[in-house]
Structure 1
């Protein structure tokens, strides 16, 4: 499991989960997950949204497999987006941000062929090899040369067989977390709106 910043850098990597483990246990039992959910992960101070006086915490972008938390944003349930365009827009913007992670793992897969085959080595050595590739990614710095069309909803990353699809991590959201998500939703639909988002929603975008 890895945490990726906006510059395609892996800033936290937690390796060692085996395929036989339950999907939900991967996040809840990881050092990163425990630190985040227990409020012990070092996260920058709250920041004002550009063009507003609204101050919100920094958040990690996740999918519906992650719990909604004041520092973790997950999509609205799909059924709620059918009759509420603002929630559909939030889900679309979240999906666009989440694709950064998919792109990073795609880059690793292309750069290091170990991600394209089964490794014949001990688990301890595998963990070290994976961490070495993550360190290489971090030391490389910003990857500004990579250009991604923000309006291309169909861009996908293939052959990333090492990524776990975390499902059913669960957890009841707090009122604070629900409020923070609402604030981000309102921002994405007003001051923070982008030109193409409404067309993407009305053109048949399916939130993933």
Structure 2
């Protein structure tokens, strides 16, 4: 996921930093774990860039492709015996890969596809909350930073590092800000959503075609999430 951090247009910046939201910005793209910590960030791309452009030029993508990331070996999902690779949860901007799962197209979805998208969106909510907590805690990111781009990058990186430290040392202080679910699994929006938030970056889809293995893996996950082994009792009610 990527977010815009507003900046004053640097001298000679022209339209390079001008985003489709109508202001100048630098992009923060991040990979978040289940504990709302940033595991990787890419900071500094001009605001005119899309998610897909930044991702395709990132060191993380190249390291994953080159198998230099020391990602754990594939393991079976609960109540199953088929090994499934660890994967990143992405959105429509990214190309489907065995190591990056994205939702099905919303056109004419089957029940199983709606369930898959629901399960993926619950995971992706963690990412949204991590960015929300970051901006809530370090509200300079919600203002227009007037420093030069290189200094803005340093400010953003410092905020991310401090965010991770606070998630480790004082998780309870921030948990009140998080989204929760009630006893019926309906979303209870976290306090971070009451504040101004960082703007999403342009959702331009990656034109790279998915691999056969990636499509087969998503189909397997689709069936798994609707099977007795992988379903949760409330999921069909949530997608009706």
* TM-score, normalization by structure 2: 0.76
Preserved CA contact (<8 Å) 2:76 2:82: yes
Q: How many Å apart are 1:22 and its aligned residue?
A: 4.2
Q: How many Å apart are 1:162 and its aligned residue?
A: 4.6
Q: Which has the larger strand fraction?
A: 2
1:108 lines up with 2:134 in the alignment:
yes
In structure 2, the gaps of 5 or more residues are 1-28
Other-structure match for 1:2: 30
1:189 lines up with 2:226 in the alignment:
yes
Task: Identify if the C-alpha distance between structure 1 residues 52 and 22 changes in structure 2 by more than 3 Å, giving closer, same or farther.
Answer: closer
Q: Quick one: distance in 1 between partners of 2:43 and 2:57? A: 11
User: How many residues of Structure 1 are paired with residues of Structure 2 in the alignment?
Assistant: 200
Equivalent of 2:86, from 33, 39, 58? Answer: 58
1:87 lines up with 2:125 in the alignment:
no
Q: How many Å apart are 1:23 and its aligned residue?
A: 4.5
Preserved CA contact (<8 Å) 2:180 2:187: no
Other-structure match for 1:170: 207
* CA displacement 1:94-116 (0-9 Å, x = unmatched): 11111111111100111001121
* CA displacement 1:106-142 (0-9 Å, x = unmatched): 0011100112111010111111111111112222345
In structure 1, the gaps of 5 or more residues are 203-208
Q: Quick one: distance in 2 between partners of 1:184 and 1:200? A: 18
Task: Identify if the C-alpha distance between structure 1 residues 110 and 76 changes in structure 2 by more than 3 Å, giving closer, same or farther.
Answer: same
Q: How well do the aligned residues superpose, as a CA RMSD in angstroms?
A: 2.1
Pairing of 1:60-75 with structure 2 (within 5 A):
60-75=88-103
Q: Quick one: distance in 2 between partners of 1:162 and 1:115? A: 11
Preserved CA contact (<8 Å) 1:59 1:72: yes
1:136 lines up with 2:172 in the alignment:
no
Q: How many Å apart are 1:194 and its aligned residue?
A: 1.4
Preserved CA contact (<8 Å) 1:66 1:166: no
Other-structure match for 1:149: 181
* CA displacement 1:142-169 (0-9 Å, x = unmatched): 5464461172357484633254243212
* CA displacement 1:2-60 (0-9 Å, x = unmatched): 00011111111111111123443122122223333444434221111011112100010
Task: Identify if the C-alpha distance between structure 1 residues 20 and 108 changes in structure 2 by more than 3 Å, giving closer, same or farther.
Answer: same
Other-structure match for 1:99: 125
Q: Quick one: distance in 1 between partners of 2:67 and 2:209? A: 16
Preserved CA contact (<8 Å) 2:135 2:141: yes
SS of the residue corresponding to residue 79 of structure 1 reads coil
SS of the residue corresponding to residue 40 of structure 2 reads strand
Deviates more, 1:123-132 or 1:15-24: 15-24
